[in-house]
Structure 1
Amino acid sequence: MKTIKFKLGVILLLALIFGCQDDEGIVGDIVAPSNVNMNAEIVGMDANNPNGDGSGLVNFTTSSDGAITYRYDFGDNTDVVVAPSGNITHQFSLTGLNTYTVTVMASGIGGITTTTSMNIDVFSSFEDQEAKDFLTGGAGNSKKWYWAADKPGNIGLGPNDVQPGGEHTWSQWFTSNAWHSDKLCMYDAEFVFTQSADGKVTFEQLTDIAYTPGDFAASIGVAGDTCHGTDVAPTLDGVKNVSFSPSNSNATVDGEYRGTTINFSDGGFMCWYVGISSIEIYEITDSTLSVRMLDASNPALAWYCKYQTDNPND
């Protein structure tokens, strides 16, 4: 009996040793991706339009040996974007002909990265000077904005996908009351848009208030339907560059929105924290701003936010 137990023990020990060796073999050598090749196709480029048709759209394709995903930095102060396949379309929105340095980071096993860059000249004819002036007060000026807390519908929620009845352009599922009871913590937020003399626009939120609705809060593991600070939303602070691009969502087309999207650099947002740094304008005047945005945790959700230049707390 002792002999049998001894043999079984030896067998188990050998199984563990060779099992560990097999596991180590699965991981293999950590090798940086090689032969990284990035190509760019400017939409509308031809003999008469060597830098594109003015849409600012560029299709990028990257391939390599050993990469499992790719990240793009487009060199235009927008967020770095992950493209697992290496294929992505980006819209450059700075008006006129501009040169951008686009960098792609090919990541392999263990996260080791190989980087390559290229310069690209892109022409964009999109402009919404009126929206820029409404937001900022015009070239060389700044304007402060607040939540439209004293107005019904300062927050709304609706579907992003077209519903059986066609609804997807308004806050069909939820429309807040004025001074909505579970959102009081966010109504002290203040925002400033500034336009330089040469037309460049920047944005800054002056208060460390980030409101996280339930679905998005759950996706990042924090309390929902309440306000947080930079501990939860580290991109809250700091001056952000602002660009404008054509809106191309179904809601903009079907709802006949203005057709302009505001893009914040470096993860910027206007207090309503759902992981999105681009917001569609559906209405803007000299004193009111109404926008629509998706929810990064669930793109089927569309949020509606209203802001104004009158301080509702006065």
Structure 2
Amino acid sequence: MKNIKFLIIMFCLVGALFGCQEDDYQVGEIIAPSNIQITSQIIGADASNPNGDGSGMVDFIATADNAISYQYLINGERMAAPEGKQSFVFAELGLNTYTVTAIAFGIGGISSTKSINIDVVSNFEDQEAKDLLSGGVGLNKTWYWAADKIGNIGLGPNETQPGGEHTYSQWFTSTAWHADKLCMYDAEFVFTQPTEGDLLYEQTVGSAYTPGDFAASIGVDGDTCHGEDVAPSLFGVKSVTMIPSSSNATVAGGYRGTTMSISDNGFMSWYVGVSKLEIIKVTATTLFVRMTDSAIPGNAWYCKYQTEKPVQ
């Protein structure tokens, strides 16, 4: 009986203790961002060339009152810009008018937007790369993972490193037929050039491989293959635009200087949420590209493809 009374007393004391505590959770006053300003700098613009130097490159800065982060919506592509800064390459040839929208986010996720129009000229073209990828005007060419080659997948730092380590796969270089990537090696990719300069792309066979960190960011299993349920843009014909590369690695690594921009969020089996593949080297039979990771922009991935179907 004494033990029971003791337990009852302790229970009451504990209940009284926690009953005296008050919840003190505050998120602060939710105020929508206001006074959004967007400034733009067209690269190479001057009195003689008010719409730029033909590279199509533009730097944007967005500011707003009560904003804690930003995004941009440009040409249907939504891009995170935590500090309001973003660079973009407008690749449509000639002088064109584009609408750029900045989205400012405040406490609690409330947002406000502002749009501007900008006139940009682009003269960049890489017809040789289009011909190498497709076989030429009126032709098409099928590409495969270079699964039988060392380094068909690589990983390195994206930021500039003092010894040039940001220009190659310093952190990881795959073996041929890398054991945990076998599920992706049956992929097939077709480039077609129906008319001069009009390059189309389609992944016709295979899956989307999601490396661990990116997979975690979208809530799926990592280091394995997925289908359209995870990567809706896996299949379907997409257009390819060649734009000038702007990364530090291009300058320091002696890359080609051309980046493939695939429409409709297209990608070549390696799924990290980006559709811009920086060409390191392309020949009639080999393609070596580099891309960042949208989940961890400090990561740079390297992928190798070839026109010879690999046999294990």
1:35 and 1:301 map into 2 onto residues whose CA distance is 34
Unmatched segments (≥5 aa) in structure 1: none
Partner of 1:57: 57
Asked whether the 8 Å contact 1:94–1:244 carries over to 2, the reply is no
Paired residue for 2:122? 124
Partner of 2:103: 105
After superposition, residues 1-314 of structure 1 pair within 5 angstroms as: 16=22, 27-28=28-29, 30-75=30-75, 77=76, 79-161=77-159, 165-197=163-195, 199-207=197-205, 209-312=207-310
In structure 2, C-alpha distance between the alignment counterparts of 1:299 and 1:112, rounded to whole Å: 25
Aligned equivalents of 1:50, 1:164: Cα separation in 2: 36
Structure 1, residues 284-304: CA drift from partner, whole Å, max 9, x if none? 112221112233344444322
Contact 2:188 2:206 in 1 (8 A): no
For 1:210 and 1:50, the matched residues in 2 are separated by 42
Question: By how many angstroms is 1:228 displaced?
Answer: 1.8
Indicate the RMSD between aligned Cα atoms, in angstroms.
3.3
Conserved? CA contact 1:208–1:230, under 8 Å:
no
- The CA deviation at 1:172 is 4.1
The residue number in structure 1 matching 2:3 is: none
Q: What SS is found at the alignment partner of 1:261?
A: strand
Amino acid at match of 2:201: F
**Equivalences, count:** 301
Shift of the 256–207 alpha-carbon distance from structure 1 to 2, 3 Å rule, reads: same
Task: Tell me the secondary structure at the aligned position of residue 268 of structure 2.
Answer: coil
Q: 1:31, CA displacement in angstroms?
A: 4.8
Q: Matches of 1:31 and 1:300 in 2, distance apart?
A: 32
After TM superposition, give the deviation of residue 51 of structure 1 in Å. 0.6
Q: Is the 8 A contact 2:143 2:306 kept in 1?
A: yes
Distance in 2 between residues matched to 1:208 and 1:113, nearest whole Å: 39
Give the residue type in structure 2 aligned to 1:131. Answer: A
Note the C-alpha offset of 1:208.
5.0
Does the residue aligned with 1:131 lie in a helix, a strand or coil? helix
> Which sits farther off after the overlay, 87-96 or 47-56?
87-96
**Residues 1:95 and 1:177: Cα distance change in structure 2 (over 3 Å):** same
Deviations 1:45-81 (A, max 9, x none): 2221021122212222333344333221122x5x211
Conserved? CA contact 1:56–1:92, under 8 Å: yes
Instruction: Tell me which moved more, 217-226 or 250-259.
Output: 217-226
With the length of structure 2 as denominator, give the TM-score of the two structures: 0.81
Residues 280-289 or 135-144, more deviating: 135-144
Does the CA-based 8 Å contact 2:186-2:206 persist in structure 1?
no
Q: 1:218 to 1:49 in 2, by over 3 A?
A: same
| SS of structure 1 residue aligned to 2:214 | helix
Is the 8 Å Cα contact of residues 184 and 206 (structure 2) preserved in structure 1? no
In the alignment, residue 263 of structure 2 is paired with which amino acid? S
In 2, are the aligned partners of 1:188 and 1:313 still within 8 Å (CA)? Answer: no
User: Unpaired segments of 5 or more residues in structure 2?
Assistant: 1-11
- Shift of the alpha carbon at 1:161? 4.7
Q: Identical aligned pairs, as a percentage?
A: 61
Whole-Å separation in 2 of the counterparts to 1:283 and 1:35: 45
SS at match of 1:236: coil
How far has the Cα of 1:165 moved from its partner? 5.0
Judged with a 3 Å threshold, the aligned counterparts in structure 2 of structure 1 residues 158 and 44 are, in CA distance, closer, same or farther, namely closer
TM-score (norm 1): 0.80
